[in-house]
Amino acid sequence: MSRQVYMDHAATTPVAPDVFHAMAPYFTESFGNPSSLYTLGQQNKKAIEEAREKVARVLNASPAEIFFTSGGTESDNWALKGAAFTYRNKGNHIITTKIEHHAILHSAEYLARLGYDITYLDVDEEGRVSVEDVAKAITDGTILVSVMFANNEIGTIQPIEKIGKLCRERGVLFHTDAVQAVAHVPIDVKAMNIDMLSLSAHKFYGPKGTGVMFLRKGVKLDNFIHGGGQEKGRRATTENVAGIVGLGVAIERAGKKMVAEQKRLSALRNKLIDEIMKRIPYARVNGALGDTRLPNNVNVSLIGIEGETMLMDLDMFGISASTGSACSSGSLDPSHVLMAIGLSHEMAHGSLRLTLGESTTDEDVHYVVEKLSGIVERRRNMSPLWEDFIKAQERS
């Protein structure tokens, strides 16, 4: 088999071996229902509570503020729909941004169909929301502000602490979708005045299908999943014990490694960006640079080439990556995030996202740049768009 370089860690990560080993007994011998009173059940309840403490420690929250869900999407749905239904008599206005994940955007669109008034804030060309815009958008009828912590496509980190402070001062609930940020960059829900936060285990070497909703103590929020009395009556369904245990081990493990990984990955990320800019003419970096970019995110647009073509060519060399081009998603419009930062359709169709992770090495970075520059040269040579672009450059 040829060399495999996985550069799509923002899509998902493999379950770390120690996480997997910690989970394994809960599928077989430790199968008890945590709601059962006998030992087999109660020891699983204890395992869940240990996981809850681990999550709380990483976020600087209290264990009582942590609720396990099926993932980031459920947590996002809970935050938006929960706030909308709970506070429907207080107001019908929700503020979010144009670059949120579809879990937020599609929930917001659904609420709009029910009569809620949604404000989608613009972002600047680096994909950053302005705190002043949030302040200006808040009205007496605003019941929720939801701004993602860091963007999944372009990696831009939002001024969450400032937005949190503003919302607290104005008495408006503040939710952040932190799926791409948790265990990658430091998060302190207290210092940042976060009321609700969504996270997902499979983005930090935990299992898929497990997530968390942080709900600050004292914040009233209707339930989203109704049923039994699990999670202190806040989120029904027999607990995904193995998943929750895995999430706990994964977040603790990632929390310990975070500072070192942040430094290591930022350096690799910068190297990858620099090498691409050096080797490939007319490459453009999408998103912020430096400390306000996720340490593992590289997103570039390569004019003249369509994203799916790049992905398939890279796949031939064992490289897994992602694109904001429409052709890969099945819709005709390219990524809403790339459009929101002002990219032309051509540039959005030519976008490539490479997201690094624990397995990424210096050699991987060189390998990817080497293969990518060859692919770009070959595909540009057969692109009429590139031909037109170069002619226009020569004229100007």
Partner 1 sequence: MLYSDKVMDHFQNPRNVGEIVDADGVGEAGNPKCGDIMKIYIRVEDDHITDIKFKTFGCASAIASSSMATELVKGKSVKEAWDLTNSAVAEALDGLPPIKMHCSVLAEEAIHAAINDYRHRQGLEPWEEKSHDELVEEHSHHH
Residue found under tokens 């994940």: 101
Rg of the chain, C-alpha, whole Å: 22
Q: Is 387 in the site for partner 1 (CB under 8 A)?
A: yes
> Residue from 34, 71, 304, 357 that binds partner 1 (CB under 8 A)?
304
Residue type, 212: V
Q: How far is the CB of 351 from partner 1 (least distance, A)?
A: 11
Q: What are phi and psi of 380, to 5 degrees?
A: -65, -35
> Between 246 and 307, whose beta carbon lies closer to partner 1?
307
Q: How far is the CB of 384 from partner 1 (least distance, A)?
A: 4
Q: 3-state DSSP call for residue 186? A: coil
Q: How far is the CB of 323 from partner 1 (least distance, A)?
A: 10
* 378, containing H or E segment: helix 362-381
Contact 66, 57 (CB under 8 A): no
Q: In what order do the strands lie in the sheet with 93-97?
A: 66-69, 211-215, 196-200, 173-177, 142-146, 93-97, 117-121
Contact 174, 168 (CB under 8 A): yes
Instruction: Choose one: 42-50, 142-150, 320-328, 366-374; the region binding partner 1 (CB under 8 A).
Output: 320-328
d(CA 385, CA 257): 44
Q: Is 319 in the site for partner 1 (CB under 8 A)?
A: no
Q: Is 308 in the site for partner 1 (CB under 8 A)?
A: yes
Q: Is 301 in the site for partner 1 (CB under 8 A)?
A: no
Count of other CB atoms within 10 angstroms of residue 300: 21
* 107, containing H or E segment: helix 102-113
> Between 105 and 326, whose beta carbon lies closer to partner 1?
326
Beta-bridge partner residues of 215: 196
Q: How far is the CB of 300 from partner 1 (least distance, A)?
A: 17
**What are the tokens at 238?**
């027999």
Q: Between the CA of residue 202 and those of 27, 72, 260, what are the distances in Å?
A: 18, 10, 20
> Residue from 211, 334, 375, 376 that binds partner 1 (CB under 8 A)?
334
Q: Is 377 in the site for partner 1 (CB under 8 A)?
A: no
Question: What character string, x for contact with partner 1 (CB under 8 A) and - otherwise, covers 72-111?
Answer: ----------------------------------------
Q: How far is the CB of 313 from partner 1 (least distance, A)?
A: 8
Q: Is 267 in the site for partner 1 (CB under 8 A)?
A: no
> Residue from 73, 107, 210, 325 that binds partner 1 (CB under 8 A)?
325
Count of other CB atoms within 10 angstroms of residue 159: 16
Quote the DSSP letter at residue 9: T
> One of 137, 280, 327, 390 is an active-site residue; which one?
327
Q: Is 392 in the site for partner 1 (CB under 8 A)?
A: no
Q: Tell which positions 338-357 bind partner 1, by CB under 8 A.
A: 344-346, 349
Instruction: Choose one: 94-102, 284-292, 307-315, 359-367; the region binding partner 1 (CB under 8 A).
Output: 307-315
Q: Is 327 in the site for partner 1 (CB under 8 A)?
A: yes
**What are the tokens at 276?**
């691409």
d(CA 294, CA 296): 5
Q: Is 327 a catalytic residue?
A: yes
* 389, containing H or E segment: helix 384-395
Q: 3-state DSSP call for residue 358? A: coil
Q: How far is the CB of 378 from partner 1 (least distance, A)?
A: 10
Q: Is 326 in the site for partner 1 (CB under 8 A)?
A: yes
Contact 347, 389 (CB under 8 A): no
**What is the size of the binding site for partner 1 (CB under 8 A)?**
26
> Between 240 and 373, whose beta carbon lies closer to partner 1?
373
Q: Is 171 in the site for partner 1 (CB under 8 A)?
A: no
Q: Is 293 in the site for partner 1 (CB under 8 A)?
A: no
Q: 3-state DSSP call for residue 86? A: helix
Residues involved in catalysis: 327
Q: Which residues bind partner 1 (CB under 8 A)?
A: 304-309, 312, 316, 325-328, 330, 332, 334, 344-346, 349, 381-387
